[in-house]
Chains A and B, each alone.
Chain A
Amino acid sequence: MKVGDLIVYIFAVALIMVGLLGMYAMGTQGGDKSVVVELDGQEVYSCRVYKGMAPVEFRVDAGNGQYNIVLITYEEVKIKEANCPDQVCVKSGPIRHAGQAIVCLPHRVVVKITAGHEETPDVDDIAS
């Protein structure tokens, strides 16, 4: 084997490894999430969640004085307060992972985590 060949092989292997590492990193890049707030199916707010961010409070105005206050921190997302009759959205507590959502049926408000590290859930859905 000539020296030149060896250089080419080393170069090739290194390139493939860098490529694979890159793909792996892209596939698993986690931690950072996006939160989307929808009112009646329409997006009214969205933001990225990242380490070290200041907590964000967003007030959803659902019309007729109806509101939900969403609190977004790096660790979790929850509806802190709402004036809906059933308070289900407040009581349902915080969500943390992509694919999870909080729903306020009376105000037709949905808060979803849409991106980030999708934890393999224990169940695919819940019959409730």
Chain B
Amino acid sequence: MKRYQRIRALIIAIFLLGVALQGCARTAGPQEYRKDIFALNTWVNIRIYAGKDGPDILDKAVKRIEEIENRMSVTIPDSDVSRINSNAGKQPVKVHDDTFEVIKKALEYAEISNGAFDITIYPIVKLWGITSEHPRVPTEAEIQDKLRFVDYRNVVLNEAEKTVYLKEPGMGIDLGAIAKGYAADEVARILKEEGVVHALINMGGNVMAMGGKPNGQPWRIGVQDPRAEGARRHIAIIEVMDGSVVSSGDYERYIVDIYKKTGKRYHHIFDPSTGYPANSGLMATTVVAQNSIDADALSTTVFIMGVERGLELVDKLEGIDALAITFDKKIYTSKGLKGKLIVTDKEYELQP
């Protein structure tokens, strides 16, 4: 009888072990939750590691993104930005705190870049219509005519009243080069408030990394190959625990001049000093910063300013790093990025 008891005990032990193993496999740590949406004129992906409330947290993040879009989109007729634009030369417009904050930040970047970054570029953006249904190459006269309205110094902010006023009729602002960064920061803030430690947010290539990977390793963020013709392919890797990595380039949205048959590429980042797509010798730039709003605004700024002036500016700013890729496939980096960039494509040559 004793022997049977022992057998029974063993069988039970094995059974229990099996149950325990299964339990382990199912409840090991926070789970991955993902959410993808179309917003801010791009495709947004959010990946978080959380408990059972993961989907609720993601919903909160999505709500905030939609709120920001409704206030800052230039194509939504009753957004703050549209109301500011339609009241240009007429009267100051009261806006939401977040819109005010973003415009204020944009003007700071206009100031430190000597106008290379300028949200009053909208009349030029509209004229070319690169991202619209009917893009075209305007005439020199048309460009000069619209360029008169491009000057960030004619944006008047009233901090107490939270109003924004464009001094000249015909002026307009576009927050397309900064709003995605702000939205990414806001999503990160909400995730942190909800107790999320590890997350990766991507707003149309505008990446915000939080807390490293769940295994303690840093997030590995690829730098887009500017000549991949639409394919997602990277040429270098930047490792970040917490921070944002944003690229800008001539490859994102562009038209090729088939009408005059020059084959020339006209992209969507305009130089406020010329009214033409920026032509500073760069194919792309990538900026690394703690906050995505800074990385977003500066990636455009460096792209317009070019290698020398752009990287010089970045070196002066604390906690900001950048790389710039020239047409001859050379990669130049700011001082802080030296020795940290992992170049994975041999065609691209990292400059010392």
Contacts and interface: CB of A to CB of B under 8 A. Distances in A.
A39 to B, nearest CB: 10
A128 B247 CA distance: 5
Interface stretch (B165-173, B231-239, B306-314): B231-239
A126 interface: yes
B14 A12 contact: yes
Nearest to B288: A127
A126 B7 contact: no
Q: Which of the listed residues B209, B213, B231 has the most CB atoms from chain A within 10 Å of its own CB?
A: B231
Contact of A93 (B21, B25, B133, B230): B230
Nearest to A41: B37
Interface stretch (A2-10, A46-54, A55-63, A68-76): A2-10
Contact of A105 (B42, B231, B237, B286): B42
A40 B237 CA distance: 31
Interface in A1-58: 2, 4-5, 8, 12, 15-16, 19, 23, 40-41
A40 B36 CA distance: 10
A105 B221 contact: no
Interface string B190-231: 000000000010101111010001000001111110000111
A125 to B, nearest CB: 5
A103 interface: yes
Interface residues of B, number: 45
A108 B230 CA distance: 16
A92 B229 CA distance: 7
A101 to B, nearest CB: 8
B10 A8 contact: yes
A43 B69 CA distance: 24
A2 B3 contact: yes
A122 B38 contact: no
A115 interface: no
A124 B253 contact: no
Interface in B93-141: 133
Overall SS of chain A's interface: mixed
Given A126-B205, A127-B206, A127-B286, A110 B219 contact: no
B43 A12 contact: no
A5 B245 contact: no
A91 B205 contact: no
Contacts of B209: 124-125
B161 to A, nearest CB: 37
Contact of B247 (A5, A41, A100, A127): A127
Contact of B43 (A2, A93, A110): A110
Given A15-B14, A103-B43, A125 B230 contact: no
Contacts of A65: none
B232 A128 contact: yes
Interface string B22-43: 0001000000000011100111
B348 to A, nearest CB: 15
Interface in A69-106: 85-93, 100-101, 103, 105
19 contacts: A4-B7, A12-B14, A15-B14, A16-B17, A40-B38, A41-B38, A87-B230, A93-B231, A101-B36, A105-B43, A122-B220, A124-B209, A124-B220, A126-B207, A126-B234, A127-B245, A127-B286, A128-B204, A128-B205
